[in-house]
């Protein structure tokens, strides 16, 4: 019995069945292409059967798309032929035009838009169910798929770059976006991961203890003064220098003094024997590089030098770790004595306070791409050293100088513009 001899009810039933098949192929295509590749690889490592099948199919997307489109086009064209037969029976000669129009609208809704929308929202559920049909179907239609792919690949080859367009490697910026927007992890760990990615954008001079705040030992001082510094030091490692910090002789770990505590006195020569060779790093070294260097050199502290070899500050392993995990305190703002909050919402801040520390403590965004301290920021903005106190605006911040001494702005008052009059 030919197709035209079948009853209309049977033909309608066939069209409904073909609609289901077309919806399957359409949803499978969308779901397979919408799978999260990184989650898929994770499931493959977990030996998820459907995930392993899907991963194998996606290795050759041309074959996957070939078998899906062969099946989908065959189903759609067969449905169009049957629809034309029904149209001729119902509408006569005008059915040749009316049937395709009605069938297109029907298939567009029930075999394309609706199933693809569902697949786009639940790609794993649809794709993992589809692979159990697509896998054997690809084996069955392999000769046809090979023939169509050979011709299509030859046609598109001139338009495809020689580089691998399916390169799934992420750049640092792409990975940052993925962690920031796509990772379902606690905020604390998310911030730590973002901080690790940002290490390459921060250099040691951004986080170092500046030169004027370095606590060290001048070997030319009296021994009583040296012992006083050792007894009152809050740091476990101190630089020992001669005359000035640019002439560092060594780094002293106070733990090495423990064995000499029972001695009545210790000489400068014995003190120098306890020191370690100083470790110098350039001021422009990125933090992620310096972290590796600390590990390689088995060091925890380094002297930061500029291009002329002058010491600009000190950076420690703890400083870099704090960039990742945050300050080792529950109230970071309270741990910075240079910042004093006022009743009107403003802050009195020491001019030598580091901008990055201010931003982190107050959740501000003062510019840090130039000077490192608040004093330097104001001087750069003014392009001169002020003779008397004045007020200046930097982005959204109103900065008023309170004390100027020795060509340095000692104290300032800052109010965020959104809370200012």
**Pick from 377, 210, 198, 355: nearest CA to 288:** 198
pLDDT band at 329 (very low <50, low <70, confident <90, very high): low
Place of tokens 């064995």: 259
Q: Say if residue 94's pLDDT is above 90.
A: no
Question: What's the pLDDT at 398?
Answer: 92
Is the Cα dihedral 169, 173, 179, 182 positive or negative?
negative
pLDDT band at 67 (very low <50, low <70, confident <90, very high): very high
Separation of alpha carbons 283 and 202, rounded Å: 11
Report the percent of the chain where pLDDT is more than 90. 41
Question: What's the pLDDT at 345?
Answer: 87
Separation of alpha carbons 95 and 183, rounded Å: 54
Asked if the domains 203-325 and 333-419 are classified in one and the same CATH topology, the answer is: no
For residue 50, the SS3 value is helix
Question: What's the pLDDT at 337?
Answer: 62
Q: Say if residue 19's pLDDT is above 60.
A: yes
pLDDT band at 330 (very low <50, low <70, confident <90, very high): very low
Report the percent of the chain where pLDDT is more than 70. 92
Distance, C-alpha 408 to centroid of its chain:
38
Domain boundaries, the chain: 3-159, 170-201, 203-325, 333-419
Separation of alpha carbons 231 and 147, rounded Å: 85
Q: Which two tokens stand for residue 56?
A: 């194998």
Distance, C-alpha 161 to centroid of its chain:
28
Predicted TM-score (pTM) of the model is 0.63
Question: What's the pLDDT at 255?
Answer: 84
Overall average pLDDT of the 165-193 stretch:
73
Overall average pLDDT of the 135-161 stretch:
87
Q: Which two tokens stand for residue 234?
A: 């809050």
Is the Cα dihedral 237, 362, 378, 336 positive or negative?
negative
Least confident of 38-52, 79-93, 171-185: 171-185
Separation of alpha carbons 195 and 78, rounded Å: 57
**Pick from 231, 224, 226, 282: nearest CA to 249:** 226
DSSP state of 256: G
pLDDT band at 338 (very low <50, low <70, confident <90, very high): confident
Q: Say if residue 420's pLDDT is above 50.
A: no
Tell me the C-alpha to C-alpha distance, in Å, between residue 107 and each of 100, 121, 166, 191, 334. 10, 20, 32, 47, 66
Q: Say if residue 265's pLDDT is above 80.
A: no
Contacts of 235 (CB under 8 A, 6+ apart): 215, 254
Question: What's the pLDDT at 137?
Answer: 92
Separation of alpha carbons 386 and 288, rounded Å: 38
Question: What's the pLDDT at 71?
Answer: 92
For residue 61, the SS3 value is helix
The total of other beta-carbon atoms located within 10 Å of residue 193's CB is 17
Mind listing the pLDDT tens digit for each residue in 341-398?
Answer: 888 889 999 998 888 888 888 888 898 888 888 999 999 999 888 888 999 999 889 9
* Of 42-51, 168-177, 192-201, 336-345, highest mean pLDDT: 42-51
Rounded to a whole number, what is the distance in angstroms from the first to the last CA of the chain?
A: 90
CATH 3.10.580.10 fits 203-325, yes or no: yes
Question: What's the pLDDT at 328?
Answer: 61
Mind listing the pLDDT tens digit for each residue in 282-310?
Answer: 999 999 999 999 999 999 999 999 999 99
If you average pLDDT over every residue of the chain, what do you get? 86
The upper half-sphere exposure of residue 117, i.e. CA atoms within 13 Å in the direction of its Cβ, equals: 7
Provide the CATH number for the domain formed by 333-419 in this structure: 3.30.465.10
Separation of alpha carbons 182 and 201, rounded Å: 22
């Amino acid at each position: 019995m030919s197709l035209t001899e079948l009853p209309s009810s049977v033909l309608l039933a066939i069209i409904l069945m073909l609609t289901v098949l077309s919806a399957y192929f359409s949803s499978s295509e969308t779901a397979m292409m919408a799978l999260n590749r990184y989650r898929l690889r994770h499931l493959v490592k977990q030996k998820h059967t459907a995930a392993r099948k899907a991963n194998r199919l996606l290795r050759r997307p041309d074959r996957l798309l070939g078998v899906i489109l062969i099946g989908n086009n065959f189903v759609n064209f067969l449905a169009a032929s049957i629809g034309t037969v029904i149209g001729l029976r119902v509408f006569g000669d005008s059915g040749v035009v009316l049937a395709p129009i009605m069938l297109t609208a029907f298939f567009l809704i029930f075999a394309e838009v609706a199933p693809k929308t569902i697949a786009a929202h639940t790609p794993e559920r649809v794709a993992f169910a589809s692979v159990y049909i697509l896998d054997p179907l690809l084996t069955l239609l392999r000769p046809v798929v090979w023939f169509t792919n050979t011709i299509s690949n030859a046609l598109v080859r001139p338009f495809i770059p020689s580089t691998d367009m399916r390169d799934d490697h992420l750049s640092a910026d792409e990975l940052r976006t993925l962690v920031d927007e796509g990772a379902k992890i606690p905020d604390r760990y998310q911030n730590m991961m973002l901080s690790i990615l940002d290490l390459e954008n921060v250099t040691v001079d951004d986080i170092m203890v500046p030169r004027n705040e370095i606590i060290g030992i001048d070997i030319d001082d009296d021994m009583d003064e040296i012992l006083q510094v050792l007894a009152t030091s809050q740091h476990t490692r101190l630089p020992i220098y001669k005359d000035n910090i640019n002439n560092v002789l060594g780094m002293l770990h106070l733990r090495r003094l423990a064995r000499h505590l029972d001695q009545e006195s210790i000489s400068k020569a014995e003190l120098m024997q306890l020191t370690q060779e100083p470790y110098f790093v350039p001021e422009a070294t990125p933090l992620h590089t310096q972290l590796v260097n600390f590990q390689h050199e088995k060091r925890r502290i380094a002297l930061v030098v500029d291009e002329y070899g002058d010491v600009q500050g000190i950076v420690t392993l703890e400083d870099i770790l704090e960039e990742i995990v945050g300050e080792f305190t529950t109230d970071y703002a309270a741990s910075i004595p240079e910042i004093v909050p006022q009743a009107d919402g403003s802050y009195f801040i020491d001019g030598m306070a580091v901008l990055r520390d201010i931003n982190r403590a107050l959740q501000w965004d003062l510019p840090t791409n130039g000077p490192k301290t608040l004093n330097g920021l104001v001087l750069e903005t003014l392009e001169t050293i002020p003779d008397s106190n004045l007020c200046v605006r930097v982005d959204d911040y109103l900065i008023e100088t309170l004390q100027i001494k020795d060509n340095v702005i000692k104290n300032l008052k800052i109010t965020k513009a959104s809370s200012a009059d």
